[in-house]
């Protein structure tokens, strides 16, 4: 089981999009600044804004890349507001 997640930092007022196999562990890695050159090291107040679970790993990676290509804050916020957008993404990238 894989996850697509969107983190939010109030300090930066920015979002971070990622995918992983273990969301709790990955969030801890962001908060602990495990990867020193990563964008997420710019803040220590990341919180989960949105997550999507029960995906195959490849499907999660494709959805992550789709969301990143959108380059839209409004799109990210709409994913949380409108579950039908998420359903369409899951179906579009189903293996």
The per-residue pLDDT string of the chain (95 residues; one tens digit each, 9 = 90 and over) reads 999 999 999 999 999 999 999 999 999 999 999 999 999 999 999 999 999 999 999 999 999 999 999 999 999 999 999 999 999 999 999 97
Query: What pLDDT is recorded for position 39?
Result: 94
The CATH number corresponding to 2-92 among 3.40.1440, 3.30.160, 3.30.310, 3.10.110 equals 3.40.1440
> What pTM was estimated for this model as a whole?
0.95
Residue 93's pLDDT is what?
96
Neighbours of 71 (CB within 10 A): 8
Q: What pLDDT is recorded for position 95? A: 75
Segments making up each domain of the chain, as ranges: 2-92
Dihedral of the alpha carbons of 62, 29, 1, 67, in degrees to the nearest 10: -20
């Amino acid at each position: 089981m894989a996850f697509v997640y969107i983190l939010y930092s109030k300090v930066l007022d920015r979002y971070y999009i990622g995918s992983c196999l273990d969301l709790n562990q990955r969030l801890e890695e962001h908060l602990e600044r495990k990867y020193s050159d990563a964008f997420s090291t710019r803040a220590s107040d990341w919180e989960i804004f949105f997550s999507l679970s029960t995906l195959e790993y490849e499907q999660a990676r494709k959805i992550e890349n789709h969301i990143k290509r959108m380059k839209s804050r409004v799109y990210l916020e709409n994913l949380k507001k409108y579950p039908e957008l998420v359903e369409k993404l899951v179906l579009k990238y189903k293996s």
